[in-house]
Structure 1
């Protein structure tokens, strides 16, 4: 996977990179490639491509040998206006200002990925083969946050009455067991702040009758990587989630497939300061 990502950054230097074709050539999927890139780079692949193009374009602007429309077309833009908007979004100033003043510029160096072997901690992981099932509960659209407690999710869950949590827990009848924190409809290279669907609910069999008023996510049959973590919450869970990209996927013959991610709470402190969790990620060989 590390070699694939480095090959991808080489392809980005070409003006017409085809991510889907690159993924096929590298023996993986565009979905997995984008997810791994954003997890390790801290930015989406689309954002990286934009920053690199504007970094190279800035050199043309400063050089001053061509007019701005010629530079815009060279870098894939149909007009100097569209190029100017993209340029300002990256550098904070217009191409005209840079041509006149020489800056300021915000360069994006070409990324290189390396796998660093450290003492590390073993990852408590198992592979689960699950038939099709459903997730049901209360869903809401929230922004993606990579670190800390998501206040939007916190408010959503806190607004549910205690008896509703008990009703949902009683409804669950298949693995993963218990109340679940589910994230769905996450774009493969989603940046922080991008909206996703969060569902507070349970897993049920396909034949279970769903009470009215609940949202449902259909989950097809497939394999799952289940990562157990324990400690301070949500820091321990978020560290485990990050380690799946930095440690587990690069060294195992699996890749992410589209589908919801689920967190099952095995144990937790009364104040939720600590918890034992299981992170379920949909995978394929």
Structure 2
């Protein structure tokens, strides 16, 4: 089963459970992926978080049923995953612009969010540079984490670094950065999530550096085990093309570890890289 087929199997599971409990682990299982990486793949490719997609599909299905049947509003609310008619009404009005009861009126306008279908887009006109790095020791990183909404990551993360620069935290990291490199993963590091804390909507973005000294009392420590990495120049471009172009044809699967954004000094080329944990298929 190829990557494209696995992703569409995951969508089949969602469609089959819009009026039932949706198990996020089973969605990822249908795609032969972990919950951590499936939510990232989905939001990166589709431009919408997984939970928001499910919410829109459920409210679309609910609108169709309310229009076509005499189902009670409270029953529709429970059927499509809401604990009360009030919470359902608020969500319904936010999407459709009207109350659920008004959906039965003739000529009323509603919004339908169709099912997503993943398809191959033949590109190949722009190559993707990458290299494979094997790190055979633990990576010990110190710093601090901030919560980031997945669908706003490209806007929020630069603002986090700008804030770190203004309040002096970035300079502290630079002053503490690794002096005798053991590998090429040096510079300011943005670690995208911790497996235990990742959700489909929010992840922890850890800003830090590799460090061998005494742990500062006001910083946290993150340890990543020995692993293999696919490394891409240009963080933003790499994120955009990673899941839709490189992963499906690479012969690698994503490892169950966070990705790392590495930002180098002003004279370094490239200026930044995306480190992606991988294992051979």
Q: TM-score, normalised by structure 2?
A: 0.81
> Is this contact kept in 2: 1:129–1:222, CA < 8 A?
yes
> Is this contact kept in 2: 1:172–1:178, CA < 8 A?
no
Q: Distance in 1 between matches of 2:265 and 2:127?
A: 20
Q: 1:245 aligns with which of 233, 243, 246?
A: 243
SS at match of 1:65: coil
What are the equivalent positions in structure 2 for 1:65-214 lying under 5 Å apart? 65-100=70-105, 102-130=107-135, 131-137=137-143, 139-141=144-146, 143-144=148-149, 145-147=152-154, 150-160=158-168, 164-170=172-178, 173-175=181-183, 176-185=185-194, 187-190=198-201, 194=202, 196-199=204-207, 201-204=208-211, 208-214=213-219
Change (3 A) 1:43 1:57: same
Query: Partner of 1:13 in structure 2?
Result: 15
What are the equivalent positions in structure 2 for 1:11-90 lying under 5 Å apart? 11-15=13-17, 16=20, 17-90=22-95
Q: Distance in 2 between matches of 1:152 and 1:173?
A: 26
Q: Distance in 2 between matches of 1:209 and 1:174?
A: 18
Listed one character per residue, the Cα deviations across residues 13-56 of structure 1 (whole Å, up to 9, x for unaligned) are 11234342343354332322222111111111221111111111
SS at match of 2:110: coil
165-174 vs 211-220, greater mean Cα deviation: 165-174
34-43 vs 95-104, greater mean Cα deviation: 95-104
Change (3 A) 1:224 1:119: closer
Query: Partner of 2:5 in structure 1?
Result: 3
Instruction: Quote the offset at 1:142 in angstroms.
Output: 5.0
SS at match of 1:120: coil
Q: Distance in 2 between matches of 1:18 and 1:166?
A: 42
Change (3 A) 1:143 1:164: same
Query: Partner of 1:276 in structure 2?
Result: 271
SS at match of 1:115: coil
What are the equivalent positions in structure 2 for 1:215-254 lying under 5 Å apart? 215-229=220-234, 237-254=235-252
Instruction: Quote the offset at 1:136 in angstroms.
Output: 1.5
> Is this contact kept in 2: 1:37–1:189, CA < 8 A?
no
> Is this contact kept in 2: 1:142–1:153, CA < 8 A?
no
Instruction: Quote the offset at 1:281 in angstroms.
Output: 1.9
Q: Distance in 2 between matches of 1:161 and 1:33?
A: 32
Q: Distance in 2 between matches of 1:125 and 1:226?
A: 5
Instruction: Quote the offset at 1:104 in angstroms.
Output: 3.2
Instruction: Quote the offset at 1:108 in angstroms.
Output: 0.7
106-115 vs 18-27, greater mean Cα deviation: 18-27
SS at match of 1:109: coil
Alignment gaps of 5+ in structure 2: none
Change (3 A) 1:156 1:5: same
Listed one character per residue, the Cα deviations across residues 118-158 of structure 1 (whole Å, up to 9, x for unaligned) are 13322221222222121113x24253434457223211223
Instruction: Quote the offset at 1:102 in angstroms.
Output: 4.8
Instruction: Quote the offset at 1:239 in angstroms.
Output: 1.5
> Is this contact kept in 2: 1:35–1:188, CA < 8 A?
no
The RMSD of aligned alpha carbons is 3.0
Change (3 A) 1:140 1:129: same
Q: Distance in 2 between matches of 1:166 and 1:34?
A: 32
